[in-house]
Amino acid sequence: MEAPLVSVVLPTFDRLELVRAAVASVLAQTLENWELIVSDDGSAEETRNFLRGLQDPRVCVVFGNHTGVPAVVRNRAIARARGRYVAFLDSDDLWKPEKLTRQLTLMGAFPARRWSYTAVRRIDVNGNEIHARSVPWVPHSGWILEQVLRVDAQIATPTVMAELAFLRELGGFDEKMPFTEDYDLWSRMALHSEAAVDSAPLTDVRSHAAHFTSDRVGKLGGWASFYAKMEPLVPSRHLRGLCRKRKREYLLALAAEQARGRNWAGMRATIVSAARAGAFQPVGWLRIARAAAPRSG
């Protein structure tokens, strides 16, 4: 078969009704020259039957044993991809019909920029728009490594499109990172290429209780690990200092969260790591002490 222009990578684990809608949003794209690679992470039989029943010849399903690690599940699909570009979509999110067409036009206008992303619309489980946002979304393009490290560039995974060759040069997602594997990859891409951005909300990102990222301890630990990994990779003293500062902040926040959960062994290990990293911010240590204080009643 002729290689498609875009390989769509869609990881899933159950969520049958949500993945139905996600697949439908790919089938509804105005661009037709794509392949959809659904990477199933050990779903129950009901979801697998739905995936087996997809009749469009552009759809390929990769069935795997359950890992619970998004990086592993996405990399399985990337390994099968044949397109010039890869676009990511999560099983609980939706694309606007013109998403792939617009993003390809954007990347064609900036051929030296090997990846791109777009704005999003955040919705609830019923599809209603969620307007609350603590930090306004701002488009950042060009060399945006610092903005990515600061998370000033708010990049949702289902908005990203990148050259397949570029992803493979970078080794794809880091499978040792169960959390923040997305910003780890965006940072490595930003190290090596400028980014293009479309300010239109071409993706609906759904917020719901079953989000993988609802694990607060895992998220905090993931961010600390991310900054520890990036510190020796970034090209300037300024950015290394930023990574050290953020690593310390997340280690202190993680220790406080572990104290709230009465995970004393985890808290002690994190405190040791924070001290070794030079985390001496009084406010962070005070929060740990308050979280660890005996509870009345």
Scanning the chain, the segments in alpha helix (DSSP H) are 16-27, 45-52, 70-80, 99-109, 145-150, 164-170, 181-192, 216-230, 237-260, 264-276, 282-292
Q: How far apart are CA 262 and CA 264, in angstroms?
A: 6
How many CB atoms are closer than 10 A to CB 94?
23
- Residues 33/6, Cβ–Cβ less than 8 Å: yes
Pairing of strands 115-123, 59-64: unpaired
The per-residue pLDDT string of the chain (297 residues; one tens digit each, 9 = 90 and over) reads 689 999 999 999 998 999 999 999 999 999 999 999 999 999 999 999 999 999 999 999 999 999 999 999 999 999 999 999 999 999 999 999 999 999 999 999 999 999 999 999 998 888 888 876 677 899 999 999 999 999 999 999 999 999 999 999 999 999 999 999 999 999 999 999 999 999 999 999 988 655 555 689 999 999 999 999 999 999 999 999 999 999 999 999 999 999 999 999 999 999 999 999 999 889 999 999 999 999 875
- Whether the pTM exceeds 0.85: the reply is yes
The CATH 3.90.550.10 portion of the chain extends over 6-212
CATH number listed for the domain at residues 6-212: 3.90.550.10
Count of all residues that appear for the chain in the document: 297
- Residue 196 CA to residue 4 CA, distance in Å, equals 22
Q: How far is CA 101 from CA 31, 107, 256, 260, in A?
A: 5, 10, 46, 47
